[in-house]
Structure 1
């Protein structure tokens, strides 16, 4: 495993981070514990979770939090050796103040997360999404209080537009508050709009980048995989996603990714992978790892052995020709007359120092 500094902090994070979004739903506790301990043994030191994981139905009185509980138990034997990232915003009850980024809700939800995680500090605390009903100054002030209290060590944000990240940094600088150290963003071979504005901002301001949805909810894997990593139900243009796949189970994923344009890119990715003796999963991850703008890639798996498919990309160094072929997947989906440079370039480098190896 290799490690990179998180933005301009002194914190070293593994190039792969483990996501827990399915812990407690499609991944039962025993399997989740095996996954966490296997990840730790393989050198992963960053574990990402949220009070909203696994996704539930608040309208039915169902709320998340189980993923935090499972993760807290699993990492307890080596808690001081790993980094836990969790989030603020998610709905935790039925009341009008049980979601968002108000001081009231953030202070309540951080205490709940600490109890579930069985820890007295959170390494990285993220705003999960914007809250237009709460002044950003209020949110940043309470995050600053948490940093000074020692309950939170680093702060960041997820799913914020570049202009809002920029505004938050300006407020922090103006008011001498703790500032964001990283962003967690949706980024993969076919989702690259952030290269246009957010990535240059992160490079300029020294923010780390944690990439989630690296396989576009499994779409870039080319199909539904069985227990031994083989595709048992390929994704086909003009058809519905196979039952049991993440895209079939989550309507937001289906709306976001299940389009013939994206499926055409997947077919091309499969061709690139075959041509160079790799799997589509390996190529998709290797492309992300080669981008120095990305500090860590968030991978979520359903069983411990599946980690091998992700981590095998660590040994793959894409040639300039292979990177150009991968870039072409996105370029082919752009509007007529657009170039990949107009949509954003993925050559921004925020970590000029070489990764350290454990």
Structure 2
């Protein structure tokens, strides 16, 4: 298993990690993601560790804490062999203080997560969303306190806009508080918006991308195509409204390219889609969201080989969309590109 440094830190993470959102699933969204109990989860962890996948990602909001609880049970007795990443900040109830990243909420969220996970420290703690009602200074001072107390080791964010990240980094720099080193982002061949602002920011400021939904919210499984409608058993029937939208023609154009490259490489569509991500700048780890052993084993086949430059060009061409201002049309003009060239891996 290849390991990469997570942003501007000394922490090495495996290029593939496991998303435990499929553990303990309940409700319309998380129940459709997966419902693995302790025994099945333990077997999935076994497979991951055998393959060198040692980073496990979850969140308090996943099935109202059940994901953390099941993950904690699955890693019991081998905590020293794994890295735990979890998130907090999204609403966990209707109470006034059951959402956001205030000092009170962050402290209680971390303590609850530690209890559910059955551990005394969280390796990577990420804010699940930007809280506009809490001063950035309060958030970062609290994270600093939690790091100093040994409750968390590294901090990151997820679903933040570029300006929100930069404001936070500036405040952290001013006060000597921990800087964010991880940015958990949606990124796939169907959704390349990350490249427009957040990727250059990550490269410049030292944030490693932890990629969620690398298969485009379950659309790049190889089961969907121009002549292959969404299967009756697909979770998309229950979850599409919760995830990032995609136009049909764009979806089929990307799938056509993936099908061609998969046939050429004798790999599966998911393996090709994940391998493409691993060639992209700033990507530290791609989070696998398998519901069962078969999916997990297939996704693990995304490493140990590499797409050719021509195959990457084919996938890039099929998945590229027009970027918004100020990225287009200026990035395509030689003068602008000379001043601010595109990132390369």
Matched with 1:290 is 279
- State the 1:124 CA deviation: 0.5
Please give the residue correspondences for 1:185-200 in structure 2 after superposition, counting only pairs within 5 Å: 185-200=185-200
Alignment of 1:104-119 (within 5 A): 104-119=104-119
What is the root-mean-square deviation in Å for CA atoms of aligned residues? 2.4
User: Given that residues 209 and 294 in structure 1 are in contact (C-alpha distance below 8 angstroms), is that contact kept between their aligned partners in structure 2?
Assistant: yes
Distance 2:246 2:78 in 1: 37
Contact 1:52 1:65 in 2 (8 A): yes
Which residue in the other structure is 1:87 paired with? 87
CA distance in 1 between counterparts of 2:302 and 2:257 reads 19
The Cα of 1:335 is off from its aligned counterpart by 7.1
When normalised by structure 2's length, the TM-score is 0.88
Report the 3-state secondary structure (helix = DSSP H, G, I; strand = E; otherwise coil) of the residue aligned with 2:62. Answer: coil
Please, which runs of 5 or more residues in structure 1 have no aligned partner? Answer: 55-63, 224-233, 350-358
From the superposition, tell whether residues 238 and 278 of structure 1 become closer, same or farther in structure 2 (CA, over 3 Å).
Answer: closer
Instruction: Give me the whole-angstrom Cα distance separating, in 2, the residues matched to 1:183 and 1:235.
Output: 31
Partner of 1:10: 10
Number of matched residues?
328
Structure-2 change in CA distance of 1:196 and 1:254 (3 Å): closer
Of 251, 258, 262, the match for 1:273: 262
* Matching residue of 1:334: 322
Report the alpha carbon displacement of residue 338 of structure 1 after superposing the two structures with TM: 5.7
Provide the rounded CA distance (Å) in 1 between the counterparts of 2:164 and 2:101: 14
Q: Give matches, 1:21-32, under 5 Å.
A: 21-25=21-25, 26-29=34-37, 30-32=39-41
Query: Shift in Å at residue 346 of structure 1?
Result: 7.1
Map 1:113-262; keep pairs closer than 5 Å. 113-223=113-223, 234-236=224-226, 241-253=230-242, 256-257=245-246, 259-262=248-251
Question: Structure 1, residues 13-64: CA drift from partner, whole Å, max 9, x if none?
Answer: 100010011211223212222111211121111100001113xxxxxxxxx1
The answer to whether the 8 A contact 1:288-1:294 is kept is: yes
Whether the 8 Å CA contact 1:195–1:345 is kept in 2: the answer is no
Give how far 1:293 is off.
1.7
What secondary structure is seen at the aligned counterpart in 1 of 2:172? helix
Alignment of 1:27-42 (within 5 A): 27-29=35-37, 30-42=39-51
Paired residue secondary structure (1:214): coil
Q: Any gaps of 5 or more consecutive residues in structure 2?
A: 26-33
Q: What residue number does 2:28 align with?
A: none
Matched, 1:324 2:313: yes
Residue 255 of structure 1: how far off its partner (Å)? 5.8
